[in-house]
Structures are given as C-alpha cells and as structure tokens.
Amino acid sequence: MLVEEEAFKAYSSENKNYITEIRNKQVKIGMTENQCSDAWGAHSRTLTNVAGYEKVFVNDGGKDLYFNKGVLKLIR
C-alpha cells in the first residue's frame, strides 16, 4: 500500500508506543480500539456493557478484546 509520507509520519507519531505490535499483527493491553483494529483487522461483532467492560470486540476463532474508555483492558 502506498501512503503519503506525511500521513505515514503522522500515523507513526500517533501510534509510537505500539507501532511494532501493529506491524507484527499483535495486540497489547493499553492499545486503543483503533490500534487493535489496525493490528488485527476488523472484528466479527461488537458487544457493549459486558461484565463491567464498555465494549468487547468479538473475533470468530480468536480472542476477544475488552475495552473501557477506548483502551484495551483484557484479552480473553
């Protein structure tokens, strides 16, 4: 994929703490919803207000991601 250099620099700067994980298709506690989607791609469905978490990304055949305030708190 071709990305304009300035857009790439901005993306890298915004995601500097997790850029290696995103490139390696890994998620890590503390990542945002967008960073997790960038790393793993689209999830199958989203649930809200589950077991004390505001949002859960459900992934068919994979692990589910639990978020509060837009930040990943649990991988299950």
Give per-residue pLDDT as tens, 24-40: 999 999 999 999 999 99
Number of other residues whose CB lies within 10 A of the CB of residue 22: 21
Q: How confident is the prediction for the chain on average, in pLDDT?
A: 93
Reply yes or no on whether the pLDDT at 76 is more than 90. yes
23: which 2 tokens?
A: 């490139």
Q: How high is the pLDDT of residue 28?
A: 97
Half-sphere exposure of 51 (CA within 13 A, CB side): 8
Reply yes or no on whether the pLDDT at 48 is more than 70. yes
What is the average pLDDT across 44-73?
95
φ, ψ at 10 (rounded to 5°): -65, -45
Place of tokens 């689209």: 42
Question: CA 69 to CA 67: how far, in whole Å?
Answer: 7
What is the average pLDDT across 4-19?
92
